[in-house]
Structure 1
Amino acid sequence: MGIAVLSAALLPALGAQTPPANEDESKVPPYVLPDPLVLADGRKVGDARTWKEKRRPELLRLFETHVYGRTPAGGPKRRFQVTKTDPSALGGRATRKDVAITFGDGAASRRMDLLVYVPNAPRAPVPVFLGLNFQRNDAVKWPVETIVDRGYGVASAFYGDLFPDRADGAGESVLTLFPARQGPDAWNAIGVWAWALSRALDYLETDRAVDAKRVALLGHSRLGKAALWAGAQDPRFAMVISNESGCGGAALSKRIYGETVAAITKQFPHWFCANFARYAGREAELPVDQHELLALIAPRPLYVASAVEDRWADPKGEFLAALGADPVYRRLGTDGLPAHEMPAVDQPVQGQIAYHVRSGGHDLADYDWRQYLAFADRHFPAGTAPRRR
């Protein structure tokens, strides 16, 4: 049956020793979050136009400079080739496509393999859940049959195709097809993984079975960081879902709770731009924090999810970041996050921003998927897509 499930639990080893973490709320230091609705010159953002034309570009530049690095414009030429099609996948309920996305030419080229499932009924182009996976395309732990039966497609690629997740992975990555990286704001693995998600969307825009204007971008853990950065940069993604993305993802850096800038940049020096490590132990000096990353997705639907036992990812910090993005969502005319206090465990709240903290530990669980499908049902109502031709 190929992939009936796509695996988030079988993560690459987290490595050796990690620095001691603060998991005591009473030891969170005082901190001040930058206001996402105040321009660099001190003026308030009073309307959607000022946000779009001035504040949003300012915040993107800050994240490029201090956290993720600059994503170069352009890039190598790319080719899409459907290498295999199975119209009777999942017991005849779906069509499976294996798509090779090739960058560059000859021996120097790089390739990302995209796995796509689309339901065989209805005949209208379908919305799709898109995300990278940890264990290659035939070992994914997404509930594909459930997703397809709800009327959604699935698209996924192995995250290591374009940047192997190692400190020395750059030499085997798609970066070899770009001009040499220079400076402490050069992009790195998370930037490449985010770029890969946009290139997957490029393919989906060519697939007539897919409604590319209704693509929900989802990522778990480190791939949640990549999903958020991709969604912040690329407004074509209609929805973004962060599942326990933690430090450098949805969790506030300035809280110094769970994984910190010092811990993550020491253990994974290849994920962020070099500038980010300069804030190890100096998080108060960061000119941005992750609530502003979430705000860059506004006004599109955003779901942030945590797990109560996943203290390393700082569930409260993830909720507070979602709450910190709320003023931007409301300034842009949506209902934002319908909660001012962190909800109880397994009690989701859903507005244009949604949040839940699930029972259990670090995983992409069936409970999470039930909430994401309900969220997509709300924002991608059936019958809104044109018929396939």
Structure 2
Amino acid sequence: MAHVHRDRLRPGTAVSLLAVAGLTATALCAPAGAAAPAPGPAARLQPAAEDDGAGCPVPAPGLPAADAKLPDPFRKADGTRITAKSDWRCRRAEIRELAERHVYGDKPAKPQRVTGTVSRTGITVNVTDNGRSASFSASVELPGGSGPFPAVVVLGGLGADTAAIKAAGAAVVRLDPYAIGREGTPRTNKQGAFYTVYGSSSSTGLLLAWAWGVSRLIDVIEQSDGSVLRADATGVTGCSRFGKGALVSGAFDQRIALTMPIESGTGGAPVFRGVAQESGAQPLSSAYGEQPWLGDAFGSFTGNPAALPVDTHETIAMIAPRGLFLMENPHVDWLAARSGSVAALGGAEVYKALGAGGNISYWSDVQDGTHCAARAEWRTPLQQNIRKFLLGTGGDTGVFRISSRKHGDLAQWRNWQTPVLADRR
């Protein structure tokens, strides 16, 4: 029986994908400097809604037979495959439901009341929902110029090179994820603003709680007068555990124009099915037990990821066709970069099917093995992505630079092929 996720349904949120049909397919392996038509303002690349599939009827998901291969992102819950680019909106809603139910926990819809302020030095956020309230804040660092500026939310002070972000013309918004969801707590007594509102025993993990916090920041930016920060041009980045949070933030809020996770490791980009087979990678049980990053329901899959009806290539696909720049470190086995490359390659198939192959980049070909270092190899593609997706002044094509040390083979992980999707709406 079909149903609509009760927590996500809001009147008027079923917005069609903007500009998907009009985006031009581009080669994934093109040189970093290859030219492509500028996309125009970032608002043309993503819907105005946090979740444009909130009105889609989503069948109650069951658990299919275990399969060691990656699930087909194009196959709907009813067993048929999507045939048009416009079908992706509701297929994405199905993937979101599976990801919430089995991996991350539930992300509630926009709270009943969100207020706050935006200044040249900070953002305050006040949230009220179901009679419970919480507040948190973030600092703002502006680049030179008069603005208004696009903003890149940096989770936990670890993420893409902030000097390079500001030099490209974007503001840096520093958000402390622990104000939203703290580490070091048991799953039965989670703490932070999210859990103050939705309960300390909530089954939602920290990653989606942090994503909720990013979304509430965007709500406040949207409500501001627009003189400091642009509401239509927000990015998010983070490294390590905060890279996990950045990926989930971009996947679950379609207002985010550019997502830039760095070295996210197990529980982040790497496909769950691959981690157990990658020597030295952090095991799923370890990532689940180290902190309550993942939703409580994921605990039943740590020893059998083949039983998951969803995997992280589909988390990546949820970001399509918006900008995505994945950065990984092949020098630290614990970070599972080989499985990360498989996830990126799998998610890129959805980008290509939507005619947006040039909007995803992946780069693990780096010399410095230090975890969360500001790498020279990433500076140019970072700024190219900011210009393209946040400033609307660039048109560089996405590039895949996968290290030979950790190069995954997507062909070994799928038994499905990428369809040619029609342009009809």
Match of 1:362 among 345, 362, 371: 371
Q: Provide TM-score, normalisation by structure 1.
A: 0.74
**Residue 314 of structure 2 corresponds to which residue in structure 1?**
292
Q: Structure 1 residues 67 and 197, CA, compared in 2 at 3 Å: closer, same or farther?
A: same
> 1 CA distance for matches of 2:355 and 2:316?
16
Match of 1:112 among 130, 136, 141: 136
Q: Structure 1 residues 192 and 217, CA, compared in 2 at 3 Å: closer, same or farther?
A: same
Deviation at residue 325 of structure 1 after TM alignment: 1.0
Look up the equivalent residue of 2:344 and give its one-letter code.
A
Q: Provide TM-score, normalisation by structure 2.
A: 0.68
**Residue 21 of structure 1 corresponds to which residue in structure 2?**
none
CA contact (8 A) 2:141 2:173 kept: yes
Deviation at residue 271 of structure 1 after TM alignment: 1.6
**Residue 331 of structure 2 corresponds to which residue in structure 1?**
309
> 2 CA distance for matches of 1:39 and 1:219?
32
Deviation at residue 151 of structure 1 after TM alignment: 1.3
> 2 CA distance for matches of 1:117 and 1:145?
10
CA contact (8 A) 1:302 1:354 kept: yes
Q: Is residue 2:206 matched to residue 1:189?
A: yes
> 2 CA distance for matches of 1:366 and 1:63?
32
Q: Is residue 2:219 matched to residue 1:230?
A: no
Look up the equivalent residue of 1:162 and give its one-letter code.
I
> 2 CA distance for matches of 1:307 and 1:172?
30
Match of 2:284 among 255, 261, 272: 261
CA contact (8 A) 2:258 2:390 kept: no
Q: Is residue 2:126 matched to residue 1:102?
A: yes
CA contact (8 A) 1:197 1:227 kept: no
CA contact (8 A) 1:80 1:99 kept: yes
CA contact (8 A) 1:75 1:177 kept: no
SS of equivalent to 1:131: strand
Deviations 1:316-357 (A, max 9, x none): 1111111101221122111x2xxxxxxxxxxxxxx3110111
Q: Structure 1 residues 299 and 175, CA, compared in 2 at 3 Å: closer, same or farther?
A: same
> 1 CA distance for matches of 2:161 and 2:106?
34
Match of 2:103 among 42, 67, 88: 67
Coordinate RMSD, CA, aligned: 2.5
Match of 1:41 among 71, 78, 81: 78
Q: Is residue 2:150 matched to residue 1:127?
A: yes
Deviation at residue 374 of structure 1 after TM alignment: 2.4
> 2 CA distance for matches of 1:60 and 1:226?
16
Look up the equivalent residue of 2:314 and give its one-letter code.
E
Q: Structure 1 residues 192 and 364, CA, compared in 2 at 3 Å: closer, same or farther?
A: farther
Greater shift, 60-69 or 371-380, is seen at 371-380
CA contact (8 A) 1:247 1:264 kept: yes
CA contact (8 A) 2:144 2:169 kept: no
CA contact (8 A) 2:123 2:217 kept: no
Q: Structure 1 residues 326 and 74, CA, compared in 2 at 3 Å: closer, same or farther?
A: closer
Greater shift, 222-231 or 372-381, is seen at 372-381
> 2 CA distance for matches of 1:226 and 1:324?
20
Match of 2:238 among 203, 219, 239: 219
Look up the equivalent residue of 2:288 and give its one-letter code.
T
CA contact (8 A) 1:253 1:260 kept: no
> 1 CA distance for matches of 2:167 and 2:152?
13
> 2 CA distance for matches of 1:380 and 1:143?
16
Match of 1:375 among 370, 373, 385: 385
Question: Runs of 5+ in structure 2 lacking a partner?
Answer: 1-66, 395-425
Equivalent pairs, count: 315
CA contact (8 A) 2:257 2:390 kept: no
Q: Is residue 2:176 matched to residue 1:167?
A: no
Q: Structure 1 residues 189 and 156, CA, compared in 2 at 3 Å: closer, same or farther?
A: same
CA contact (8 A) 1:243 1:364 kept: no
SS of equivalent to 1:238: strand
> 1 CA distance for matches of 2:311 and 2:215?
23
**Residue 245 of structure 1 corresponds to which residue in structure 2?**
264
Deviation at residue 298 of structure 1 after TM alignment: 0.4
CA contact (8 A) 1:76 1:177 kept: no
Question: Runs of 5+ in structure 1 lacking a partner?
Answer: 1-29, 86-95, 135-139, 337-350, 385-389
Deviation at residue 109 of structure 1 after TM alignment: 4.7
Look up the equivalent residue of 1:259 and give its one-letter code.
Q
> 1 CA distance for matches of 2:330 and 2:171?
30
Deviations 1:89-116 (A, max 9, x none): xxxxxxx4122223349xx753322111
Deviation at residue 212 of structure 1 after TM alignment: 2.1
Deviation at residue 218 of structure 1 after TM alignment: 1.1
> 1 CA distance for matches of 2:354 and 2:393?
26
Look up the equivalent residue of 2:185 and give its one-letter code.
A
**Residue 283 of structure 1 corresponds to which residue in structure 2?**
305
Look up the equivalent residue of 1:115 and give its one-letter code.
S
CA contact (8 A) 1:99 1:113 kept: yes
Deviations 1:136-172 (A, max 9, x none): xxxx786544432321111111111121112246144
Deviations 1:343-385 (A, max 9, x none): xxxxxxxx3110111221321414334431222223345669x
Q: Structure 1 residues 272 and 141, CA, compared in 2 at 3 Å: closer, same or farther?
A: closer
Q: Structure 1 residues 228 and 118, CA, compared in 2 at 3 Å: closer, same or farther?
A: same
Deviation at residue 208 of structure 1 after TM alignment: 2.1
